[in-house]
Amino acid sequence: MDFKPIQIDRAEDYHQHLKSTPQAASDYSFANIWGWAREYGLEWAFSYNLVWIRQNEPQPVYWAPIGPWEDIDWSAVFGREDFSPGFKRVPETLATLWRHHSGDQLRIEEDRDNWDYIYDVEELVALSGNRFHKKKNLLNQFKKQNDYRFESFSAAMIEEALALQDDWCTWRDCEDSEVLSAENRAIQRVFVAWKAFPELLGGVILVEDIIAAYTIAEPLDEETVVIHFEKGCPAHKGVYQAINQMFLESLEGRFRYVNREQDLGDEGLRKAKLSYHPVAYNKKFRVFYKD
């Protein structure tokens, strides 16, 4: 297969393959692979009616291929190609298919740190009941304590959103965290190429006409929107609860579910994601050749 760097001019080809994928995970939205392409050294190859993704940094590994999985002769593909050292971020549907077609050739292991968290949009808009009592209180505190307004994100807001992102990195000391530094570079890469992503959605909360929080999202399938980035100013208590609730409310029932991506094994992030009470998980697996 002929692997080449991720290129925007093939985005539409990629989108068509993604639409035919039976289980779309957050990792595989085009904005995500574009934003993280340099950090992971991502490359792709269009072959076997699929898009194959290879990660080169910090070590080589394949991601799941994108396309009509049920139509592929997997025995033939694995018989012709060498995918050492293996795959990561493989959605459950594909892992099940591979288990069926590979016999004893592959070892498949659960990858809990990369599970996507799936939430009911109506629940996160309403924040009703005891389960969401603390979230609703923080949202109400934000509303009472601030002169704010919510607006949908537009290209005209990028410069100010980047300024908030710079401030956020100062508050969180990104320079001392390779994870946060890498995320910051991925966010900047998406913002710089914003016009190439007409499918992107987002929102901002302005407090006294200054952006206090922003969120960037993307349709993942007909029922699901995925939240890629969400940042807020810590000086405004409840600002994260506010941007999450107001953005989803602004979608006016367009989506049934919201995918808030993985926790990457971070205990604090896992606790925060669980506190919003996911209704499902998009499970993923690691797949290796057996020795």
Residue pair 218/15 in contact (Cβ under 8 Å)? The answer is no
Q: Does 268 fall in a domain?
A: no
Residues 96 and 124 in one domain: no
Q: Does 12 fall in a domain?
A: yes
How is the beta sheet containing 116-120 ordered, strand by strand? 148-152, 201-207, 210-219, 224-232, 257-259, 116-120, 280-282
* pLDDT of amino acid 43: 98
Residues 60 and 140 in one domain: no
* pLDDT of amino acid 104: 78
* pLDDT of amino acid 290: 84
Phi-psi category of residue 261: left, alpha or beta, with phi > 0 → left and psi -120 to 50 → alpha? left
Residues 140 and 241 in one domain: yes
Q: Does 187 fall in a domain?
A: yes
Residues 169 and 202 in one domain: yes
For 35, 40, 177, 272, the CA distances from 185, given in Å and listed in that order, are 8, 12, 12, 23
Residues 188 and 248 in one domain: yes
Residues 10 and 97 in one domain: yes
* pLDDT of amino acid 71: 96
The residue type of 3 is F
Encode 153-179: b = buried (16+ Cβ within 10 Å), e = exposed.
beeebbeebbebbeebbeeeebeeeee
Terminal CA-to-CA distance of the chain, rounded, Å?
24
Rg for the chain (alpha carbons), in Å? 20
The residue type of 147 is D
**48: its two tokens:** 């076997």
Residues 229 and 176 in one domain: yes
Q: Which domain holds residue 80?
A: 4-115+285-289
* pLDDT of amino acid 81: 92
Residues 199 and 250 in one domain: yes
Residue pair 233/212 in contact (Cβ under 8 Å)? The answer is yes
For 65, 83, 109, 157, 248, the CA distances from 202, given in Å and listed in that order, are 28, 37, 35, 11, 10
Query: What is the number of domains present in the chain?
Result: 2
Residues 107 and 125 in one domain: no
Question: pLDDT digit string (tens) for 206-248?
Answer: 999 999 999 999 999 999 999 999 999 999 999 999 999 999 9
Q: Does 276 fall in a domain?
A: no
CATH number reported for the structural domain that contains residue 39 in this entry: 3.40.630.30
Residues lower than pLDDT 70 in the chain = none
Residue pair 48/72 in contact (Cβ under 8 Å)? The answer is yes
Q: Does 186 fall in a domain?
A: yes
Per-position DSSP letters for 69-106, written without gaps between them: GGGS-HHHHHHH---TT-EEEEEHHHHHHHHHHHTTSE
d(CA 203, CA 79): 47
Q: Does 248 fall in a domain?
A: yes
Q: Does 277 fall in a domain?
A: no
Q: Does an H or E element contain 171, and which?
A: helix 158-172
Residues 56 and 184 in one domain: no
Residues 100 and 143 in one domain: no
* pLDDT of amino acid 105: 82
Residues belonging to the chain: 291
